[in-house]
Amino acid sequence: MVLYVHDGVIKERSLGVFAMHSLTAEVLCTFILDEARSLGLDWANCVAQCYDGASVMSGWANGVQARIKSDVPHAVYVHCYAHRLNLVAVHCISDIREVKEFF
């Protein structure tokens, strides 16, 4: 997913759905960078990156965000707010017996 500004309007576009055969930070980072470059996206224009909290994505030393940040130092990492909301909702309803039984 890419968010960008065009003529003063914020736009969001999906770049596709891809099958990954390895889920290491190195493989994921290389794939993301290569795919973006193949689409003609200039990493110099990247200002932020957003992933879930999985350590392979968010790890400060070797996660995807850290690897991309080494190539693009100004690309700030932000934990995905949709994922945060999901985590809060799951946590809030996990102690309700009826909900546990339903699911």
| All structural domains of the chain with their residue ranges | 2-102
Is residue 100 predicted with pLDDT exceeding 80? no
Share of the chain above pLDDT 70, in %: 99
Q: Are 92 and 100 in contact (CB under 8 A)?
A: no
With cut-offs at 50, 70 and 90, classify the pLDDT of residue 4: confident
Q: At what angle do helices 64-71 and 25-38 cross, to 10 degrees?
A: 50
Q: In which residue are the tokens 């990247």 written? A: 46
18-64 per-position pLDDT tens digit: 999 999 999 999 999 899 889 898 888 888 888 887 888 888 888 99
Question: What's the distance, CA 7 to chain centroid?
Answer: 25
Question: What's the distance, CA 40 to chain centroid?
Answer: 20
Q: What would the two tokens of residue 72 be?
A: 């693009």
Within 13 Å and on the Cβ side, how many CA atoms surround 6? 6
Q: Global pTM?
A: 0.72
pLDDT at residue 101, rounded to an integer: 79
pLDDT at residue 21, rounded to an integer: 93
53-98 per-position pLDDT tens digit: 788 888 888 899 999 999 889 988 888 777 777 778 888 888 888 8
